[in-house]
Structure 1
Amino acid sequence: SGRIMLDGSEITAAAPEQIARSGFSMVPEGRHVFGALTIEENLKVGAGMRADKHSVAADLEQVYREFPILAERRHAVAGMLSGGQQQMLVIGRALMTSPRLIAIDEPSLGLAPKIIDQVYEILMRLRAQRKLTLLIVEQSSTRALMTGGRMILMRGGRIVLEGPASEMVKDERLKQAYFGFGDH
């Protein structure tokens, strides 16, 4: 229960296209690519609501610079990509909406450690370059702490601990809350 606020406006019951126009984009768990479409077609789906074709083309080239494997394979069918490549594609598609806030659900799910490192490096670089706000839902507390942002730990749908990641990494209460022992 509750409300979802973005820039002081409630978006809880807003239509998805209205939420997207407000600058919010979502990367869902499970890397939902349009498997029969090409990589480039998948990326252009993200820009579907944007009218300025010049800025869309510029953003497409920027996504290709961030994810060179997608540029190399731009005409390949997205369903044939590896899990890591699909994750890069859905992040790229979210970037094509020209967001200010991206919610990413379980970016490390099912990926090899080396690919997870790459995905997080890209996310942190994009956050800095584009001044993006990232809301990352992640079961790995180690990965979440590496983001350097604010961390909120939930158990059973309730907030049990929150604060700057830089402080939480040193806080014994994190282990207690995360693993379910102690006072939390």
Structure 2
Amino acid sequence: MIDGAGIAGAAPEDIARRGFSLVPEGRNVFGALTIEENLKVGTGMRADRRTIADDLDQIYQEFPMLAERRHTPAGMLSGGQQQMLVIGRALMAAPRIMAIDEPSLGLAPKIIDQVYEILLRLRALRKLTLLIVEQSSTRAMMTGGRMVLIRGGRIVLE
């Protein structure tokens, strides 16, 4: 549910327009597109298109490495850089709720720390609700807020 309205069975574009954005597992970037083109893909479902340029600037402030390499094909980025790019792309949809599937998957511990620092900062700055699916429950607990631990499809801790 988003704002009291059910989303089960709703078209993906309708869910996105209601303020939901997804960062899927596996850092799915469009490798042949530049960083900037990848970020702009995230604006496709936005109702308000007037602030796209400002939002792009804000993403570049949050992720300076993306700004420095904005014309580089996304396929040339490291795993951690790609993770930051897909988070930035999801933010370009101007979400209120962002689901992130396995943000630490395949990343070095130092990069995982950076990703979680960014997520915490974004949560505070944008008043963003984060729904994190993470095998490392310890890491996810550090983001604060409400936590539900599910094992084998059953809630075991709330």
* Structure 1 and Structure 2 fold alike (TM over 0.5): yes
Superposed displacement of residue 52, structure 1:
4.5
1:135 to 131, 139, 143: 131
Equivalent position SS for 2:147? strand
2:56 to 45, 57, 60: 60
Give the CA RMSD over aligned residues.
1.0
Superposed displacement of residue 7, structure 1:
1.3
- Structural mapping, 1:26-175, within 5 Å: 26-50=22-46, 52-162=48-158
Higher-Rg structure is: 1
Instruction: Specify every segment of 5 or more residues in structure 1 that has no aligned partner in the other structure, as ranges.
Output: 163-184
**Contact 2:17–2:47 under 8 Å retained in 1:** no
- Range with greater deviation from structure 2 (44-53 or 143-152): 44-53
Task: Quote the Cα distance in structure 2 between the aligned partners of 1:131 and 1:51.
Answer: 19
Task: Quote the Cα distance in structure 2 between the aligned partners of 1:105 and 1:53.
Answer: 27
Higher RCO (CA 8 Å, separation ≥ 6 residues): 2
- Against the structure 1 CA distance between its residues 141 and 51, is the aligned structure 2 distance closer, same or farther, given a 3 Å change threshold? closer
Superposed displacement of residue 149, structure 1:
1.2
Matched AA of 2:28: H
Matched AA of 2:119: L
Q: TM-score, normalised to structure 2's length?
A: 0.97
Q: Deviations over 1:143-183 (max 9, x none)?
A: 01111111111111111111xxxxxxxxxxxxxxxxxxxxx
Q: Deviations over 1:33-68 (max 9, x none)?
A: 011110000000001233654400000000000000
Task: Quote the Cα distance in structure 1 between the aligned partners of 2:148 and 2:27.
Answer: 23
Q: TM-score, normalised to structure 1's length?
A: 0.84
Q: How high is the sequence identity, in percent, across the aligned residues?
A: 81
Task: Quote the Cα distance in structure 2 between the aligned partners of 1:53 and 1:11.
Answer: 23
Matched AA of 2:140: A
Equivalent position SS for 2:148? strand
Task: Quote the Cα distance in structure 2 between the aligned partners of 1:44 and 1:126.
Answer: 19
Equivalent residue, structure 2, for 1:181: none
- Against the structure 1 CA distance between its residues 73 and 160, is the aligned structure 2 distance closer, same or farther, given a 3 Å change threshold? same
**Contact 1:46–1:94 under 8 Å retained in 2:** yes
Task: Quote the Cα distance in structure 2 between the aligned partners of 1:99 and 1:141.
Answer: 24
